[in-house]
Copies of this chain bind each other. A is one copy, B any other.
Amino acid sequence: MRDWVGSCLAEKLAIMRERRPLIHHLTNYVTMNDCANMVLATGASPVMAHAPEEVAEMAAIAGALVLNVGTLTLPWIESMMIAGKAANQASVPVILDPVGAGATGLRTESCRRILEAVKVSVIRANAAEAAVLAGLDGEVKGVDAVSGDACAAARALARRFGVVAAVTGVVDYVSDGRQTMKIENGDAWMARLTGTGCMASSVTGCFCAVEKDPLVAATAALAFYGAAGEIAAGRSSLEEAGPTWPAPRGPMTFKTAFFDAVYRLAGERAAQLARVEAIGMVE
């Protein structure tokens, strides 16, 4: 199972870095700059555009479309639906990041409206957001805290909407409802920065632009992203025989190192660092 992830990392990342596909975002104000720089560091071209008059035109020429409801309003949701439908028509994969689903009615409801109107390839969420959208409301507490099973949430979410669900946390799970991948890359420093979830969705978009199977693309994206986090934290080395970077002094030295690691991490090395496991088919 690791084989096709490794091959996706090695081959598809190289293709991405050559083609530099356009990743069109309608995303939140808080992390737009980080998402743009993360897409550049990964190897693609970011564009942020949300005017209803232009989103269809932009989405149609993109390699992937990322919809993130972090600072949503009703007009932005309308623009997301226009962009999403245009992406669907042009066979451009759509990634949804349902930031804060469950925290307010507007967020939960808006995500459901998008999922009804637009064919989404991947939902990238945390376990609480995934559980709420999957209808497992009993397992969610507040906006950040979560009880319950991230793996179960990924499976349930995938089945409910017929998507690939990529649920990130200490361990990440990517599921299409039948097959589920467990990814154990990443580092605790990533949770001490705002936007590491948003950026994971953007990197997922980058891989979806070059890999047709969203289960493979999302798994490869999260393994790559997590491996870069380990390098930035000083736990893994950038090159097989190379030294590790110094441990971060705090969240901002980690952040600096994280973007640098993403930029410098080759697909072959990411494949070596990937800790990916297929945890069985269900049903």
Which residues on B sit within 8 Å (CB–CB) of A262? 250
Q: Work out how many copies of this chain go into the complex.
A: 3
Q: Is the CB of B71 within 8 A of A50?
A: yes
Q: Does A277 lie at the interface of the complex (its beta carbon under 8 Å from any beta carbon of B)?
A: no
Choice from B48, B71, B195, B250 contacting A30 with Cβ under 8 Å: B48
Knowing A54-B107, A253-B256 are in contact, say whether A47-B143 is a contact too (CB < 8 A).
yes
Which residues on B sit within 8 Å (CB–CB) of A73? 50-51
By beta carbon, the residue of chain B nearest A55 is B104
- At the interface with chain B, which of A7-15, A36-44, A267-275? A36-44
The total of chain A residues at the interface (CB under 8 A) is 59
- Could you tell me the distance between the alpha carbons of A36 and B100 in the complex, rounded to whole angstroms? 15
Choice from B40, B195, B248, B253 contacting A194 with Cβ under 8 Å: B40
Choice from B20, B45, B107, B251 contacting A40 with Cβ under 8 Å: B251
- Could you tell me the distance between the alpha carbons of A264 and B250 in the complex, rounded to whole angstroms? 7
- Could you tell me the distance between the alpha carbons of A58 and B102 in the complex, rounded to whole angstroms? 11
Q: Does A126 lie at the interface of the complex (its beta carbon under 8 Å from any beta carbon of B)?
A: no
3 shortest interchain CB distances as A-B pairs: A250-B260, A36-B194, A252-B259
